[in-house]
């Protein structure tokens, strides 16, 4: 198949060169990975610069010294017999508000019972408030308990009650109403800490749990790997096409003359200082050939026709120029290193914007 047929086939298929596809992918991957890297840096600096005490959720949390139960526990034989079929694992005696409580752990679930009556543990609002006060050392008044209906991050065995303290940090106390356990203290400053952790570990999904190696981290890791691999390919591809060269091997200035003609073959200008691409050489000192992308191969406005011996087209030429233009020797002047050649303008707009004083 001839070069012309290959060009026509490529144009008919409307396929972008693989190099440009990878460059687009590389840029989007760079945006995603770069954004997350910026978030890592900012949140990491925040953790190092912000005082740890400022982010502490337990500023007013205190450990209540458990006193001996004021009620005598009843024998647990009947309780053990009742749940023996579930496979009893452990029975312990604790206390809630100085009242003895049995904690029964079976193979199916954990239950709590008032030890003096063997009735399931049940807390009213006053008892929940009393438990919260035992864990709180601040001076703020506690609100009435509010049973949360939405899902919480706590490992609770029953409904979770929240109480809010009227202090300067807005302390919130969470209590498991099934066991009387204080689940956590939180406040407005610890919310900032949680936000920083969420951003730092990409913990955006509620089902990630406490594991670091979750799906989002894996996806960003794969994106970073693809970013590196695509970057290596693009560098090699550009070097192969002559778009990239090592600085110490790059020719500073070509010796000779670049002659530029109008569309109707009239002499327009001559350039003897050839450095960089044809576009850079022509635009030395002033803008003679206008572009929108600044020589990035994206707008196609810098195309010129090589009167003789056009260079081999690269990816940008194949993407922006038609098969007919390529056959006529038209190339993007921003994509080829300048050398002594004869070139011609190809559009009326190029003539219209050419500096009047140089015509």
- Regarding beta strands 342-344 and 258-261, do their DSSP bridges make them parallel or antiparallel, or are they unpaired? parallel
- Regarding beta strands 181-186 and 342-344, do their DSSP bridges make them parallel or antiparallel, or are they unpaired? unpaired
pLDDT at 19: 80
Q: Name the DSSP class of 359.
A: -
Classify residue 209 by burial, with Cβ atoms within 10 Å: 0-12, 13-18, 19+.
exposed
Q: What is the pLDDT of residues 182-230, one digit of tens each?
A: 999 999 999 999 999 889 888 877 665 556 677 888 889 999 999 999 9
| Superfamily name and number for 249-358 | Beta-grasp domain (3.10.20.30)
Contacts of 82 (CB under 8 A, 6+ apart): none
Is residue 68 predicted with pLDDT exceeding 90? no
CA distance 208 to 203: 7
Residue ranges, CATH 3.10.20.30, the chain: 249-358
Q: What is the pLDDT of residues 246-298, one digit of tens each?
A: 555 555 566 789 999 999 999 999 998 888 899 999 998 888 999 998 888 88
Sign of CA dihedral 148, 149, 154, 157: positive
Backbone angles phi, psi at 63, to 5 degrees: -90, 120
Is residue 63 predicted with pLDDT exceeding 90? no
Percent of the chain with pLDDT over 90: 62
Backbone angles phi, psi at 78, to 5 degrees: -65, -35
Sign of CA dihedral 149, 153, 154, 156: positive
- Closest residue by Cα to residue 178 from 158, 201, 156: 158
Q: What is the pLDDT of residues 320-338, one digit of tens each?
A: 999 999 999 999 999 998 9
pLDDT at 13: 44
Is residue 117 predicted with pLDDT exceeding 80? yes
pLDDT at 354: 85
| Chain-centroid distance, C-alpha 58 | 31
pLDDT at 82: 92
């Amino acid at each position: 198949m001839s070069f012309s047929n290959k060009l026509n086939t490529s144009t008919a298929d409307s396929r972008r060169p693989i190099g440009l596809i990878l460059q687009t992918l590389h840029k989007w991957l760079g945006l995603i990975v770069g954004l997350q890297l910026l978030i890592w840096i900012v949140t990491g600096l925040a953790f190092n610069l912000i005082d740890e005490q400022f982010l502490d959720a337990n500023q007013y949390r205190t450990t209540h010294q458990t006193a001996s139960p004021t009620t005598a526990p009843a024998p647990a034989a009947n309780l053990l017999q009742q749940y023996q079929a579930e496979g009893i694992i452990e029975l312990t005696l604790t206390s809630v508000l100085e009242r003895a409580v049995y904690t029964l752990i079976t193979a199916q679930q954990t239950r709590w019972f008032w030890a003096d009556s063997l009735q399931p543990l049940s807390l009213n609002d006053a008892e929940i408030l009393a438990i919260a006060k035992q864990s709180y050392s601040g001076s703020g008044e506690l609100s009435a308990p509010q049973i949360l209906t939405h899902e919480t991050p706590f490992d609770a065995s029953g409904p979770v009650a929240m109480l809010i303290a009227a202090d300067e940090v807005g302390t919130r106390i969470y209590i498991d109403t099934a066991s009387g356990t204080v689940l956590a203290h939180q406040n407005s400053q610890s919310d900032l800490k949680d936000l920083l952790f969420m951003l730092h570990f990409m913990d955006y999904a509620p089902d990630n749990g406490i594991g670091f190696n979750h799906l989002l981290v894996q996806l960003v890791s794969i994106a970073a790997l693809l970013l590196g691999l695509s970057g290596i390919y693009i560098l090699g591809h550009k070097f192969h096409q002559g778009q990239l060269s090592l600085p110490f091997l790059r020719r500073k200035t070509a010796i000779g003359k670049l002659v530029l003609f109008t569309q109707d073959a009239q002499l327009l200008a001559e350039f003897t200082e050839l450095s960089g691409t044809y576009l850079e050489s022509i635009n030395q000192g002033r803008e003679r050939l206008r572009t929108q992308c600044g020589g990035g191969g994206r707008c196609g406005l810098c195309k010129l026709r090589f009167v003789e011996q056009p260079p081999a087209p690269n990816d940008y030429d194949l993407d922006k120029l038609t098969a007919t233009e390529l056959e006529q020797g038209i190339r993007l002047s921003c994509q080829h290193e300048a050398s002594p050649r004869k070139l011609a303008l190809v559009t009326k707009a190029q003539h219209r914007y050419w500096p009047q004083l140089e015509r």
